[in-house]
Structure 1
């Protein structure tokens, strides 16, 4: 009975016009809206790109043509407070992104910066996890700042 049910379920699903959300369209994955975000190097770059895609998925008021957003990311880890034994107790991640939004008739450039601090745990693995979390938070904030900056530039005449 179970062997008969699975093929019938597949036939019924295909007959209703079901198509998976992330399925390729004509062999390529579709971009969301008119804004495509170029790949950014590194783990933090990947996180920034994903956050930018989420922020810009709703589109941009006044944008009527396809454009590409290119971001040059720079990120630095700084140890701020040191304990008497030389170990860090507080650290900070400074991230800056200079961006360029280009299309056939559109060219917008800008730069945004963000700083995220975190307390350094005693264990080395905890330090790595804290750095990763702070980097992820910094990329989400940087993506929001870049998207807001682009929206402001499109809003002003």
Structure 2
């Protein structure tokens, strides 16, 4: 489904590229193919797994094809209690996910791009333990998805602008 969406966006971008002064981000087929050739190396753990999955989906990863780039991720997570009740129990939490990435071209391994994204969101804390765990896991998934989207956009802009090394 993701590949069909990318194809539809590419076709629509091609139609719009005839407009004077408008250059669509995904109008260059090289951007899509280069994103699909990124191999993501994420840290161990649930959030690392979620980030890798969301990035593979965002890049429309070409499974089975030799990667042209390797992305190494470093992730940090923090949780802050918010909305503390009179009995000193938090009713909400703020979850902050910071993802730093380094993109290297293959096979040389030369670093070509570095970046950092930060996602902040809140979630309710329920009195029931399983509901609270489910809410925290949902927050991790939503933050990983948003961080992947932001990384995808940063890389797409970088690739569309000629992908200067050392950026």
TM over 0.5: yes
TM-score (norm 1): 0.71
Q: Which residue of 1 aligns with 2:59?
A: 56
User: 2:161 matched to 1:148?
Assistant: no
User: 2:97 matched to 1:92?
Assistant: no
1:115 is displaced (CA, Å) by 0.7
Q: Which residue of 2 aligns with 1:111?
A: 116
User: 2:38 matched to 1:35?
Assistant: yes
Contact 2:102 2:111 in 1 (8 A): no
- RMSD between aligned residues: 1.9
Q: C-alpha distance in 1, partners of 2:111/2:161?
A: 14
Q: Which residue of 2 aligns with 1:135?
A: 140
Structure 2: 5+ residue runs without aligned partners?
1-34, 163-167
2:72 to 64, 70, 73: 70
Q: C-alpha distance in 1, partners of 2:59/2:74?
A: 17
Structure 1: 5+ residue runs without aligned partners?
1-31, 60-64
Q: After TM superposition, where is structure 1 displaced by more than 2 Å over at least 4 residues in a row?
A: none
TM-score (norm 2): 0.67
1:33 is displaced (CA, Å) by 4.0
* Bigger Rg, structure 1 or 2: 1
Contact 2:37 2:61 in 1 (8 A): no
